Amino acid sequence: MSHRILAINPGSTSTKIAVYDDEIPLFSVSLAHSPEDIARFADVIAQFPWRRRLIRESLAEHGVALDSLDAVVGRGGIISPVESGVFEVNDDLVHDLRHARVQHASNLGGLLARDIADEVGIKAFIADPVVVDEMMPYARISGVPELPRESIFHALNQKAVARQFARETHARYEELNLIVCHMGGGITVSSHRKGRVIDTTNALDGCGPFSPERSGSLPPGPLIRLCFSGKYTEEELMKMVHGRGGLMAHLGSTSVPEALERVDRGDLYAMLVIRAMCYTVAKEIGAMAVTMRGDVDAILLTGGMAHSKRITDFVAEHVSFIAPIYVYPGENELKSLAENALAVLRGERELHGYVHADSEDPAKINDMSLPSKLREWLRTAIAPSTRQGTMTAIRQYLRRWKH
């Protein structure tokens, strides 16, 4: 029995849709949106009826009737933290997408999928949204209790590439230790240990490497002084972090090919900035190797920038001592969405029910009246050692200087 699936990926400048008959794409199209188109709407949610109309018109143009679909899957948005998987778009999920704490085009993915699915009485899904959270508890702690580290990354593409690598090497994703680096408009570097992303950079809030449009991690003291300098509004500073940082701030463009052309014409500043961006990527890959204590099977480079051999070669030269490098250019998120939905329809992957949940406050871990996943994890993972006579490396070092 074959299954027809509609995949929807709303972005800031386009709505991408594809229809798959099982693994075979029937058609795929990117509906471009100009800045003038987007400017007509007060916020992302207000774009819903307009994008819905464009999708239905495109389906009709390609001769795809809604009642021929078996499922609709959309890109996940900024919802409660969830583990990796496929989720049915239930009422809780619809509520959280409509009232998301961050305005992002991906919030429309599940809403559009649910609307079309409800009309013909089929299931609507999201898969591996950007808020997939499998981080180790102590990876969440920063030096300021009010500013915990959050897991927001290119989960859909990273997980798809990691599974593809596992298939190609005749291994199970759950058996591998991988560092996956997605290099697009935003850049995220993540540590995949035995099928779980135990640590990651957060591209949405500007942490980690800087990218074509995002600032990356910034020195906190100067940033605070800049915030109170009166030179910028809060909105302008947020744009500086997400949208007008990185290459855009330095070179006036988010285009990596354009920046490389400037390098070829002898622009030394463009060369400096491009190399600096790649250098920050390499440093984060090194940091992720530490999260797995150096036990890394492979480093996977993906995203739009991975099309450039000059970019991937520069990164590889700095990190190839850690593990072999594999390059997966581009990001086929529509294919990944469809594959996840198909796996559920075939019974190969579990379908999860979404429940809204607030992030746990680590400072309340000792309050035994409250349930705590962090508490249980720590008790399991960091149990007291029963070994006798063990001498740590630091004690061995100090012993040398005892006399």
Exposure on the CB side of residue 238, measured as CA atoms within 13 A: 6
Lowest mean pLDDT among 286-290, 367-371, 393-397: 393-397
CA–CA separation, 7 and 372 (whole Å): 36
Confidence (pLDDT) at 391: 47
**8 Å CB contact between 72 and 66:** no
Confidence (pLDDT) at 371: 78
Residue percentage of the chain with pLDDT more than 70: 94
17-36 confidence digits (pLDDT tens)? 999 999 999 999 999 888 78
Overall average pLDDT of the 137-142 stretch = 89
Reported confidence tier of residue 122, pLDDT bands at 50, 70, 90: very high
Confidence (pLDDT) at 308: 96
**8 Å CB contact between 160 and 336:** yes
Confidence (pLDDT) at 392: 53
CA–CA separation, 123 and 313 (whole Å): 43
Domain with CATH 3.30.420.40 in the chain: 1-131+332-362, 155-330
Confidence (pLDDT) at 363: 80
CATH topology of domain 155-330: Nucleotidyltransferase; domain 5 (3.30.420)
Residue 388 has pLDDT above 60, yes or no: no
Instruction: Count CB neighbours of 34 within 10 A.
Output: 8
Residue 374 has pLDDT above 70, yes or no: yes
Residue 239 has pLDDT above 60, yes or no: yes
Length of the chain measured in residues: 403
Reported confidence tier of residue 261, pLDDT bands at 50, 70, 90: very high
- Which phi-psi region, left, alpha or beta, contains residue 331 (left: φ > 0; alpha: ψ -120 to 50)? beta
User: CA 293: distance to chain centroid?
Assistant: 23
**8 Å CB contact between 160 and 143:** no
Question: Any idea which residue has 């992030």 for tokens?
Answer: 359
Q: Which pTM was predicted? A: 0.86
Reported confidence tier of residue 403, pLDDT bands at 50, 70, 90: very low
Overall average pLDDT of the 128-157 stretch = 91
CA–CA separation, 235 and 274 (whole Å): 27
Overall average pLDDT of the 136-140 stretch = 89
- What dihedral do alpha carbons 45, 50, 51, 54 form, nearest 10°? 170
Overall average pLDDT of the 207-216 stretch = 93
Residue 373 has pLDDT above 90, yes or no: no
The kind and range of the H/E element at 157 are helix 155-168
Confidence (pLDDT) at 389: 47
CATH topology of domain 1-131+332-362: Nucleotidyltransferase; domain 5 (3.30.420)
CA–CA separation, 169 and 153 (whole Å): 25
Paired strand residues for 302: 182, 328
Please choose, from the candidates 173, 46, 181, 184, the residue with its C-alpha nearest in 3D space to the C-alpha of residue 103.
46
Instruction: Count CB neighbours of 246 within 10 A.
Output: 28
Paired strand residues for 20: 5, 25
44-69 confidence digits (pLDDT tens)? 999 999 999 999 999 999 999 999 99
Please choose, from the candidates 48, 49, 52, the residue with its C-alpha nearest in 3D space to the C-alpha of residue 60.
52
283-300 confidence digits (pLDDT tens)? 999 999 999 999 999 999
Confidence (pLDDT) at 381: 63
Overall average pLDDT of the 357-364 stretch = 76
Residue 13 has pLDDT above 90, yes or no: no
Q: What average pLDDT does the structure give for the chain?
A: 91
Paired strand residues for 126: 74, 87
Task: Using DSSP bridges, classify how beta strands 196-200 and 325-329 pair: parallel, antiparallel or unpaired.
Answer: unpaired
242-254 confidence digits (pLDDT tens)? 888 999 999 999 9
CA–CA separation, 387 and 384 (whole Å): 9
